[in-house]
Structure 1
Amino acid sequence: MEKFISEERIDKATEEELFEMKLWIYKESQRLEQEQMAVDRKVAEIEAEMKKFRDRFQFERSRLEHDKQKLQDDKALFDQQIEILKEGFDKLNIDKKKLERERKKLEQEKGYLREDEYSRAEIFFQGVNSLLALKKRYRDLMKIYHPDNLCGDHKLCDIINEEYNVLLRQFDAYMKA
């Protein structure tokens, strides 16, 4: 339709040519309107996608901030728990040292007992004059000195057992005679 471009041609155009020009202009305006509508739809789609992207970006940003805050809170809680554990371990170490000192003190006190008292286990059975009294005294001594007890002593328990066995054989021999 380049023939319709100049103004001179429009002035000199016939009715039929003017009708063709109007028809062409009408078709061209329809085509342009359709292209404009397509462009408007495309712009609306792009704007909708941008809005979705902004919303999603905002959501992810807020979620990231929330996770960041939660991580900071968890770290602070973890640090508090570590401090509590450190204090607990320090207290345990102090208690352990105290208990070790008390154990050494008790061993020292046991060491003050004279060795001849250990060798003279008959003191434990002094005054026993019957088999029934011997067994009762033995049970009572085992309740006191058995190694499973808090104040128990394995060495002293062995000495008591030896003396008990000696006295038991003596009573058995006396009874048989």
Structure 2
Amino acid sequence: MSRGNNNLKYETGFQIEAEKFTEYKPILLDTLQAEDIELTTRGMLDKVTGCDATALIDGLVYGVSLRFRSSDYNSFTLNRHITDPYSEVHKWIKPHNTNLKPIYYIQINQRYHNELRLIRVNIEAYSVFLQHLVKTDSLEMYWENKLLAYEFPTMLPNGYKGIFTEVFTQ
């Protein structure tokens, strides 16, 4: 079994995720301004809502979706086509009053010369853009069949907010 169309075995993917989480935990804490963060990988919270971790921020617990990439394409992906009931697009556009969902998406991409690209998405803000794409039948222009995912650039059209990105040396 694999975790998408990247030929990475299911168990290997989770092992890498745990290793990268430990390596990048100080960066995750800093970018979220959190007191603590812990993985929820493979539990109900992860499987049903897409929360890979929970973060304690100002005494409140928030869900966080995480991605760690070995290359930087200045973009991020949401897995599974919208026709799939478990599509990440569905998870992101659901209102909080119907189900738990992550508040933040954080992706850390490795670059050359010990550089990293950090992409942080405020899911509530970004979901407005996703809802617009669904309503205007424009979501398909972001579908990448080879990835079995939607690939989104880190720049949004005017008026839409929700993405912060920076490149820094580790």
TM-score range for the pair, normalised by the shorter chain length: under 0.3
Q: Counting helix residues as a fraction of each chain, which structure ranks higher? A: 1
For normalisation by structure 1, the TM-score amounts to 0.20
Structure with bigger RCO (C-alpha 8 Å, 6+ apart)? 2
Q: Counting strand residues as a fraction of each chain, which structure ranks higher? A: 2
For normalisation by structure 2, the TM-score amounts to 0.20
Higher radius of gyration, 1 or 2: 1
